[in-house]
Protein backbone atom coordinates (compact mmCIF):
# COMPACT_ATOMS: atom_id res chain seq x y z
CA UNK A 1 0.00 0.00 0.00
CA UNK A 2 1.27 3.44 -0.89
CA UNK A 3 1.88 6.38 1.36
CA UNK A 4 1.44 10.01 0.32
CA UNK A 5 4.38 11.19 2.46
CA UNK A 6 8.07 11.17 1.49
CA UNK A 7 8.21 7.43 2.20
CA UNK A 8 8.19 4.86 -0.57
CA UNK A 9 5.75 2.01 -0.02
CA UNK A 10 5.51 -0.32 2.93
CA UNK A 11 6.18 -3.20 0.56
CA UNK A 12 9.73 -1.90 0.13
CA UNK A 13 10.96 -2.63 3.65
CA UNK A 14 14.67 -2.85 4.35
CA UNK A 15 16.63 -5.00 6.76
CA UNK A 16 15.23 -3.16 9.74
CA UNK A 17 17.82 -0.92 11.42
CA UNK A 18 15.46 -0.71 14.40
CA UNK A 19 15.10 -4.29 15.51
CA UNK A 20 11.63 -5.63 14.86
CA UNK A 21 10.14 -2.31 13.80
CA UNK A 22 9.15 -1.83 10.17
CA UNK A 23 11.49 0.45 8.22
CA UNK A 24 11.15 2.06 4.80
CA UNK A 25 13.58 4.06 2.72
CA UNK A 26 12.73 7.74 2.29
CA UNK A 27 13.08 9.46 -1.09
CA UNK A 28 16.55 10.69 -0.10
CA UNK A 29 17.66 7.12 0.63
CA UNK A 30 17.61 7.16 4.45
CA UNK A 31 15.94 4.48 6.59
CA UNK A 32 12.82 5.66 8.42
CA UNK A 33 11.16 3.75 11.25
CA UNK A 34 7.41 3.29 10.89
CA UNK A 35 5.02 3.26 13.82
CA UNK A 36 7.32 5.27 16.08
CA UNK A 37 7.63 8.95 16.94
CA UNK A 38 10.99 9.93 15.56
CA UNK A 39 13.72 7.80 17.08
CA UNK A 40 16.53 9.78 15.47
CA UNK A 41 15.14 12.99 16.95
CA UNK A 42 14.85 11.24 20.31
CA UNK A 43 18.50 10.12 20.08
CA UNK A 44 19.55 13.68 19.19
CA UNK A 45 17.65 15.10 22.16
CA UNK A 46 19.18 12.56 24.56
CA UNK A 47 22.68 13.40 23.30
CA UNK A 48 22.04 17.12 23.85
CA UNK A 49 20.94 16.38 27.43
CA UNK A 50 23.92 14.11 28.12
CA UNK A 51 26.37 16.65 26.69
CA UNK A 52 24.90 19.30 28.97
CA UNK A 53 25.21 16.91 31.91
CA UNK A 54 28.82 15.91 31.16
CA UNK A 55 30.30 19.11 29.75
CA UNK A 56 28.17 21.84 31.32
CA UNK A 57 26.75 23.02 28.01
CA UNK A 58 24.59 21.32 25.40
CA UNK A 59 25.14 21.78 21.67
CA UNK A 60 23.00 24.27 19.76
CA UNK A 61 22.63 21.86 16.80
CA UNK A 62 22.33 18.08 16.93
CA UNK A 63 21.33 15.63 14.25
CA UNK A 64 21.27 11.83 14.23
CA UNK A 65 21.27 9.82 11.01
CA UNK A 66 21.62 6.23 9.94
CA UNK A 67 24.79 5.55 7.94
CA UNK A 68 23.70 2.19 6.60
CA UNK A 69 21.66 -0.40 8.45
CA UNK A 70 24.01 -0.83 11.42
CA UNK A 71 25.54 2.60 12.10
CA UNK A 72 24.03 5.71 13.70
CA UNK A 73 25.99 8.97 13.53
CA UNK A 74 25.12 11.94 15.74
CA UNK A 75 26.66 15.28 14.74
CA UNK A 76 26.69 17.94 17.47
CA UNK A 77 27.68 21.55 16.79
CA UNK A 78 28.56 24.44 19.07
CA UNK A 79 29.28 22.27 22.12
CA UNK A 80 32.21 24.04 23.80
CA UNK A 81 32.04 25.99 27.02
CA UNK A 82 33.68 29.38 27.46
CA UNK A 83 36.70 27.79 29.17
CA UNK A 84 37.06 25.24 26.37
CA UNK A 85 36.98 28.02 23.77
CA UNK A 86 39.71 29.73 25.78
CA UNK A 87 41.86 26.59 25.51
CA UNK A 88 41.30 26.64 21.73
CA UNK A 89 42.38 30.29 21.54
CA UNK A 90 45.57 29.33 23.39
CA UNK A 91 46.23 26.48 20.95
CA UNK A 92 45.63 23.81 23.60
CA UNK A 93 43.70 21.45 21.31
CA UNK A 94 45.20 18.23 22.66
CA UNK A 95 44.55 19.27 26.26
CA UNK A 96 40.93 20.02 25.30
CA UNK A 97 40.56 16.60 23.63
CA UNK A 98 41.96 14.86 26.73
CA UNK A 99 39.59 16.85 28.98
CA UNK A 100 36.61 15.98 26.76
CA UNK A 101 37.53 12.30 26.63
CA UNK A 102 37.73 12.09 30.42
CA UNK A 103 34.31 13.71 30.81
CA UNK A 104 32.87 11.66 27.96
CA UNK A 105 33.70 8.49 29.88
CA UNK A 106 31.21 9.58 32.56
CA UNK A 107 28.26 9.42 30.12
CA UNK A 108 29.27 6.91 27.45
CA UNK A 109 27.30 4.08 29.08
CA UNK A 110 24.23 6.32 29.21
CA UNK A 111 24.69 7.23 25.54
CA UNK A 112 24.84 3.58 24.54
CA UNK A 113 21.87 2.68 26.75
CA UNK A 114 19.76 5.44 25.22
CA UNK A 115 20.48 4.34 21.65
CA UNK A 116 19.79 0.71 22.61
CA UNK A 117 16.48 1.66 24.25
CA UNK A 118 15.29 3.87 21.39
CA UNK A 119 16.25 1.49 18.58
CA UNK A 120 15.71 -1.76 20.49
CA UNK A 121 19.12 -3.02 19.36
CA UNK A 122 22.40 -3.57 21.20
CA UNK A 123 25.37 -1.34 20.46
CA UNK A 124 28.68 -2.99 19.68
CA UNK A 125 30.81 0.16 19.80
CA UNK A 126 30.70 3.90 20.48
CA UNK A 127 33.33 6.00 18.75
CA UNK A 128 33.57 9.69 19.62
CA UNK A 129 35.49 12.58 18.17
CA UNK A 130 35.70 16.35 18.24
CA UNK A 131 37.05 18.93 15.82
CA UNK A 132 38.25 21.55 18.27
CA UNK A 133 38.90 24.12 15.52
CA UNK A 134 35.29 24.07 14.29
CA UNK A 135 33.47 23.03 17.50
CA UNK A 136 31.88 19.94 15.96
CA UNK A 137 31.59 16.63 17.81
CA UNK A 138 30.51 13.26 16.44
CA UNK A 139 29.18 10.21 18.25
CA UNK A 140 29.16 7.07 16.08
CA UNK A 141 27.31 3.98 17.24
CA UNK A 142 27.85 0.56 15.67
CA UNK A 143 24.72 -1.52 16.16
CA UNK A 144 24.50 -5.28 16.37
CA UNK A 145 23.07 -6.77 13.17
CA UNK A 146 19.37 -7.52 13.20
CA UNK A 147 18.98 -11.27 13.78
CA UNK A 148 17.54 -13.07 10.78
CA UNK A 149 14.37 -15.02 11.45
What whole-number distance in Å separates Cα of residue 125 and Cα of residue 54?
A: 20
What whole-number distance in Å separates Cα of residue 99 and Cα of residue 102?
A: 5
What whole-number distance in Å separates Cα of residue 13 and Cα of residue 58?
A: 35
Would you state the pLDDT for residue 146? 86
pLDDT band at 136 (very low <50, low <70, confident <90, very high): very high
> What pTM was computed for the model?
0.74
Would you state the pLDDT for residue 32? 52
pLDDT band at 16 (very low <50, low <70, confident <90, very high): very low
Would you state the pLDDT for residue 147? 78
Q: Given the DSSP bridges, would you call strands 71-77 and 61-66 parallel, antiparallel or unpaired?
A: antiparallel
Would you state the pLDDT for residue 148? 76
What whole-number distance in Å separates Cα of residue 124 and Cα of residue 145?
A: 9
Structure-model confidence comparison of residues 1 and 9, the more confident one: 1
35-84 pLDDT, tens digit each = 457 999 999 999 999 999 999 999 999 999 999 999 999 999 999 999 99
Amino acid sequence: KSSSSSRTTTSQLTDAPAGGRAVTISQDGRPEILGAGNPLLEISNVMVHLYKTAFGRGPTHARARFAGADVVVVVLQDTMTVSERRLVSLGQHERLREHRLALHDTVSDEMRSAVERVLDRPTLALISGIDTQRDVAVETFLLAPVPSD
